[in-house]
Amino acid sequence: MPQERSRSIQYINRLRILSIYLVVTAHVTIGLTMPLTPLTFNWWLGAAIFYACFCSIPLFVMISGTLLLDPSREEPPREFYRKRMIRVGVPLVVWSIVYLLVRAFIDKEHLTAGRVFQLILTADPYYHLWFLYMIVGLYLVTPVLRTFVRHAAQRERVFVIVLMLILANAYGQADNVLWQNQRSIFTLFIPYIAFYLLGFELGRLDPRKMPPAKYVVLGVLLCVVYLAAFTPLFIARHGGVGPGQRFLFDFFTPPIVLPSIAIFWIARRREALGAPITGFPKKAVEWVASTTLGIYALHPLILNRLQHALRNHASEGSFLLGVLAVPLVTFALGYVITSILMNIPILRRAVC
């Protein structure tokens, strides 16, 4: 999500905008869905929208892998760390402090020094900030991964990606069912290396070539079988839709991984085969894409202000309207506030 300012690739910009909108929609939807009676129509609708939005995080990580694992980059590790850790480190520190204050003064949570330390170690100053901690971990191993992708054959890279995705899914489901471990900033990023490498791999393929139909059919069948196998447990546990629960269908399950790959590929293919946008539309897309970090950081604050309205309408006929309208309002407000902050020198580093 931290911006790659030196490159302007329109499909990347479109994917950034789509991904941040999906993040906002997911957080709005979960707020509307949690108060509902489980297994009612609106509950199922909310759960389906919520899990569909999970594609956002794989897309964000694949975008970073496409840009940052490029073998043409020859910068030494020290230079890479200096630039990247400033770019992501400043927002991480600033927003961690902001949201710890939100916990203390808005959410009225009693915070001791030990509790603050625990929240940081578990990447949980607020529910969305884990992503920035995860990105820092990926940046730490980027120089090593660049060496790997530069010297490994394509078959070797694909094997590592598939193996990591399988292991990440297996661990995630075992943890959901058996352990319920807390995440840690020291290991949080490791499963996401698969998406990081996947972004690099997809960025090297010729987007004009369609994947063989048999692979598409196989992917669809895999998703159907997976959903059929886990639906009984999903129903028994009410899908894990609620605070403090792990989600049965997480970022590494086939129904999330395969659509994420498809969305990324479609965006790339559309840019390769279509006419490039120019003029004002091009500048507008680039500007909105440049605000994604700020929107990501700010949107829980905006949703906090809308929280009572969401609760009041969660069980009424306006559920669908809330799912459609509130993300749009939140996104627009986040965009406006971020645009303002980007023009204030002392605050600019916190949002871009």
pLDDT tens digits, one per residue of 40-95? 888 889 988 999 999 999 999 999 999 999 877 778 888 888 888 888 999 999 99
Residue 13 in contact with residue 60, Cβ under 8 Å?
Answer: no
| 40, two tokens | 């009612």
Lowest mean pLDDT among 13-22, 61-70, 79-88, 245-254: 245-254
Residue 149 in contact with residue 197, Cβ under 8 Å?
Answer: yes
Radius of gyration of the chain measured on its C-alpha atoms? 20
pLDDT score for 6: 37
Residue 32 in contact with residue 319, Cβ under 8 Å?
Answer: yes
Spatial distance between the Cα atoms of 249 and 257, rounded to a whole number of angstroms = 11
* Mean pLDDT for all residues in the chain: 87
Question: DSSP for 179-245?
Answer: I-PPP-TTTTTGGGHHHHHHHHHHHHS-TTSPPPHHHHHHHHHHHHHHHHHHHHHHHHTGGG-STT-
Distances (CA, A) of 56 to 237, 253, 275, 296: 24, 14, 26, 11
pLDDT score for 175: 76
Spatial distance between the Cα atoms of 188 and 135, rounded to a whole number of angstroms = 9
Among 252, 317, 332, residue whose Cα is nearest residue 45: 317
Spatial distance between the Cα atoms of 152 and 110, rounded to a whole number of angstroms = 50
For residue 1, is pLDDT > 90?
no
For residue 219, is pLDDT > 70?
yes
Residue 341 in contact with residue 282, Cβ under 8 Å?
Answer: no
Residue burial 52-65, b: 16+ Cβ < 10 Å; e: rest: bbbbbbbbbbbbbb
Which carries the bigger pLDDT value, residue 148 or residue 231? 148
Mean pLDDT for the stretch of residues 159-167: 94
| 14, two tokens | 């479109």
Q: Mind listing the pLDDT tens digit for each residue in 109-130?
A: 999 999 999 999 999 999 999 9
Q: CA geometry: angle at 296 spanning 94 and 18, to 5°?
A: 155
For residue 316, is pLDDT > 60?
no
Domain ranges of the chain: 10-348
Spatial distance between the Cα atoms of 57 and 118, rounded to a whole number of angstroms = 24
Spatial distance between the Cα atoms of 95 and 54, rounded to a whole number of angstroms = 22
pLDDT score for 248: 67
For residue 182, is pLDDT > 80?
no
Identify the top-confidence range among 2-6, 127-131, 203-207, 321-325: 127-131
